[in-house]
Amino acid sequence: MRYSQIFIPTLKEAPADAEIASHQYMVRAGLIRQLASGIYSTLPLGLRVIRKIENIIREEMDRIGGQEVFLPSIQPSELWKESGRWDFYGKELLRIRDRHDREFCYGPTHEEVITDLVRKEVKSYKQLPLTFYQIQTKFRDEVRPRFGIMRGREFMMKDAYSFHPDEESVNKTYDDMARAYSNIFERCGLEYKKVEADTGAIGGARSHEFHVLADSGEDEIGFCDICDFASNLELAQRRIPSETGEAENQDAKAIEEISTPGKKTIEEVTSFLSITPQEIIKTVIFESNAGLVAGLCRGDREINPIKLKKLLDCEWLHPADQSKQDDSIAYGYIGPIGLKLPMYADAEILQMPQAVAGANKTDCHLTGIYPPRDLSTIKTGDICFAKANDPCPQCDKGTLQVKRGVELGHIFVLGNKYSKSMKAHFLDANGKEQAMIMGCYGIGVGRTAAAAIEQLHDEKGICWPKSIAPFQIEVIPVNIKDEATVTAAETLYKTLTQNGIETLLDDRPERAGIKFKDADLLGLPIQIIIGPKTLQEGLVELRIRKSGGTLSIPLDQASEKAQKILTEL
């Protein structure tokens, strides 16, 4: 492709709202343009990247028996009412009415539509299992669209859904999917982590996310520095060394009330008493469908509501709204001794040899608490977030590292949540009617492109992995007024193109400096620079974008050499 014939509107400056590198470079390199908040047009160069990612995804989905479909983006509200999500989904669901005043939504996901299709067509176990996938536009009215197409409102997703007669079958497809996802992200040239994930609102049984590690990521990923353990921090289990058992303290003192006027936060209390947060018991009040409850943890920890909810075995739970509560709770001075609420403690509490906690009385704390003696009746469990340097919950030796990640893919075993509510039934081998077992599997296509930039860029621009680069090689004649330069560039461009290498020829009448800047910004893996001076010696310069390495090579070997280097990249 000739630069003069492809629309690449590069910019010197990124838009003011572009906070992260991928957003800045996608706009500056002319890959995307914003139409409205969270809504983007994809330009020719951007679309080449998107198509490459789509094709990798297609190949891997087809390989595991996925069948491509294309489902409507506009979905009738009746289906969402049947599944129960019309009310539950809230404001992220863009609701619309047609001329007959019928309610529809713009699909944020397609469980309802595919389940409707399958329940109408599939009646027998003999027709199962089935896996469908599509690559299609979704709309989610995100509260905070940002980072360009990384978190858009309208975005491209590959979503897949599988239907099964039993657990064994869904588990096989789930494992195939997990492998396909690993292949996809590897083939896209990304460094990724497969992490255990929360089954959350969808309420399934198994779930993993695929993350690319990047400082701009919105999730925190915990992973072991020795074994393969990796988990979204939201969910990561902790190893609470049970072998050390409860803390021993022969000299445990009696509990004593002390005056701590105005000292409410952990920081205030620790500095006032000259103690560490590890010596404090933090008490946090939560509202749940079972009423108000208190969660206890060490002062250096945070309670994870998802884990606490599990320990309580309740339907919903969230931190209590302090402004709504009655005066019987002395916020800032709450503690487990004498608190008239059901209490749940992090197991680590029992390993504290002595502790300070609020006295449930304004301006007072208690010292001398010996948890194994004073709090032994409280139900305990792992109710806190894991954090960096915790022992790995999976292996004996490792330590948890924490890094930020961008979620690119998410796979779920859904069980019968949708098939039950939407009556997607089939007859099993014994002629008995059963609800199908389902799985669902998503990848953000645009987000994958953005994450690749996030992971591979420098101060000059993008450094595309070759598999998803819009072109592999850019041929740059530095002066198109020089005939020999132009002839050499044209010949090389033709040879490379004939050999199936996607090549961009910068045939613009621009200054060399501008061409080099643009080439670095666009980030094609290899640049071949042809200038009158070196050409006189029969040489051209080959630059590897990512490493910055340069090589002087004879013009007549340039094509061969560049192709060889490309295969090695």
Per-residue binding string, ligand ATP, 113-152, x by CB under 6 A, is: ---------------------------x-x--------xx
Q: Which is nearer to ligand ATP, 451 or 542 (CB)?
A: 451
| Min dist. Cβ of residue 158 to ligand ATP (A) | 8
Distance, CA of 475 to chain centre: 36
Q: Which is nearer to ligand ATP, 49 or 408 (CB)?
A: 408
State the DSSP code for 555: G
Choices 47-55, 404-412, 423-431, 453-461; region in contact with ligand ATP by CB under 6 A: 404-412
Closest alpha carbon to 356 in 288, 438, 266 = 266
Output b/e per residue, 73-87; b: 16+ Cβ within 10 A. bebbbebbebbebbe
| Min dist. Cβ of residue 61 to ligand ATP (A) | 14
Per-residue binding string, ligand ATP, 153-192, x by CB under 6 A, is: --x-x-----------------------------------
Using the rule CB under 6 A, is 208 a contact of ligand ATP?
Answer: no
| Min dist. Cβ of residue 445 to ligand ATP (A) | 8
| Min dist. Cβ of residue 378 to ligand ATP (A) | 34
| Contact with ligand ATP (CB under 6 A) among 393, 439, 442, 477 | 442
Distances (CA, A) of 418 to 95, 110, 204, 295, 349: 21, 11, 10, 34, 41
Cα separation, 369 vs 254, whole angstroms? 7
- Which segments within 329-376 are labelled E, that is strand? 343-346, 355-358, 364-369
Q: Which is nearer to ligand ATP, 194 or 365 (CB)?
A: 194
| Min dist. Cβ of residue 255 to ligand ATP (A) | 44
Choices 28-36, 273-281, 408-416, 526-534; region in contact with ligand ATP by CB under 6 A: 408-416
Q: Which is nearer to ligand ATP, 285 or 443 (CB)?
A: 443
State the DSSP code for 50: H
| Min dist. Cβ of residue 68 to ligand ATP (A) | 17
Q: Which is nearer to ligand ATP, 30 or 152 (CB)?
A: 152
| Contact with ligand ATP (CB under 6 A) among 407, 454, 506, 507 | 407
| Min dist. Cβ of residue 318 to ligand ATP (A) | 18
Encoded amino acid at 309, one letter: K
Asked if 86 and 112 touch (Cβ cutoff 8 Å), the reply is no
Choices 279-287, 323-331, 351-359, 441-449; region in contact with ligand ATP by CB under 6 A: 441-449
> Is 79 in a helix, a strand, or coil?
helix
Cα dihedral 403, 407, 413, 417, rounded to 10, equals 120
Q: Which is nearer to ligand ATP, 174 or 471 (CB)?
A: 174
Using the rule CB under 6 A, is 409 a contact of ligand ATP?
Answer: yes
> What end-to-end distance do the CA atoms of the chain give, in Å?
22
Using the rule CB under 6 A, is 444 a contact of ligand ATP?
Answer: yes
| Min dist. Cβ of residue 305 to ligand ATP (A) | 16
Cα separation, 468 vs 445, whole angstroms? 12
Q: Which is nearer to ligand ATP, 142 or 287 (CB)?
A: 142
Residue 274 gets the label, from left (phi > 0), alpha (psi -120 to 50) or beta, of left
Cα separation, 144 vs 404, whole angstroms? 19
Angle between helices 44-63 and 445-455 (to 10 degrees): 110
Choices 250-258, 297-305, 406-414, 543-551; region in contact with ligand ATP by CB under 6 A: 406-414
State the DSSP code for 436: P
Q: Which is nearer to ligand ATP, 348 or 407 (CB)?
A: 407
Per-residue binding string, ligand ATP, 410-429, x by CB under 6 A, is: x-------------------
Output b/e per residue, 319-346; b: 16+ Cβ within 10 A. ebeeeeeeeebbebbbbbbebebebbbb
- DSSP for 218-230 reads SEEEEEESSSS-E
Q: Which of residues 59-118 bind ligand ATP (CB under 6 A)?
A: 109
Cα separation, 32 vs 43, whole angstroms? 5
| Contact with ligand ATP (CB under 6 A) among 345, 408, 437, 542 | 408
Distances (CA, A) of 30 to 22, 46, 517: 12, 7, 14
Choices 279-287, 310-318, 401-409, 548-556; region in contact with ligand ATP by CB under 6 A: 401-409
State which residue has the least CB distance to ligand ATP. 444
| Min dist. Cβ of residue 138 to ligand ATP (A) | 7
| Min dist. Cβ of residue 279 to ligand ATP (A) | 36
Cα separation, 177 vs 524, whole angstroms? 30
Q: Which residues here bind ligand ATP, judged by CB under 6 A? A: 109, 140, 142, 151-152, 155, 157, 407-410, 442-444, 446-447
